[in-house]
Chain A
Amino acid sequence: DAGVIQSPRHEVTEMGQEVTLRCKPISGHDYLFWYRQTMMRGLELLIYFNNNVPIDDSGMPEDRFSAKMPNASFSTLKIQPSEPRDSAVYFCASSFSWQPQHFGDGTRLSIL
């Protein structure tokens, strides 16, 4: 079975540019989560969806961040405009109901 697929694996861009991170969850999973991991703050939940509907976006740091899930097999996290402090590893995870979450291998984002 294919796991959670994230793209790109690495992204380096200049501040002010728009960044789009992509995620394909495991087929059949009804929950999708976006996390950000940094040394200083650890693993933070940004937003999560249930059946493609955003449920809790209280972790989204600013209006510069937005996430969408147009269908059950695809989600995006967008940062516009990007800033150096957005540099982090961004993870997508999916789960079925209350079952344990399955994580992708993350996107390592560097904003110069």
Chain B
Amino acid sequence: SQQGEEDPQALSIQEGENATMNCSYKTSINNLQWYRQNSGRGLVHLILIRSNEREKHSGRLRVTLDTSKKSSSLLITASRAADTASYFCATDNFGSSNTGKLIFGQGTTLQVKP
């Protein structure tokens, strides 16, 4: 069963605008990660937020985590054409044995128009 689900599935914005993507998950987690995938390439890790954190920043990225709602958001500020990619959230399944296994959502496809 799918752990993470992103919303929206697709997003198209103009360069310079902000882009917000949301992720919902089902079970308790240790941490939540966001990855980017450019067309024809593998996924690249962007940022990790732990379950005891509420917000984290990295450059133009801002991630929030609400464990009570089992949701996270990724905000990209001042978007650039180079941000055009698919973005995935990934969670681990917290349990008696933390295995490092991640479950990925279906992703949000972001298009930034120059």
Contact = CB atoms under 8 A, between A and B. Distances in A.
B45 A100 contact: yes
B43 A103 contact: yes
Contacts of B44: 103
Interface stretch (A13-21, A40-48, A69-77): A40-48
* Chain B contact residues: helix, strand, loop or mixed: loop
Main secondary structure of the interface of A (DSSP, over half): strand
Contact of A104 (B42, B45, B92, B106): B42
A5 to B, nearest CB: 11
B33 to A, nearest CB: 6
Contacts, number: 49
A103 B2 CA distance: 20
Interface residues of B, number: 22
Given A43-B88, A45-B101, A97-B100, A102 B45 contact: yes
Contact of B101 (A43, A48, A105): A48
A31 interface: yes
Interface in A64-112: 91, 93, 95, 97-98, 100-106
B105 A105 contact: no
Nearest to A44: B104
B45 A31 contact: no
A4 B42 contact: yes
Given A100-B33, A100-B48, A45 B42 contact: no
Interface of A: 4, 31, 33, 42-43, 45, 48, 50, 55-56, 91, 93, 95, 97-98, 100-106
Interface of B: 2, 30, 33, 40-45, 48, 88, 92, 98-107
Which 3 residue pairs of A and B lie closest in terms of their CB atoms, listed nearest first? A103-B42, A100-B45, A43-B104
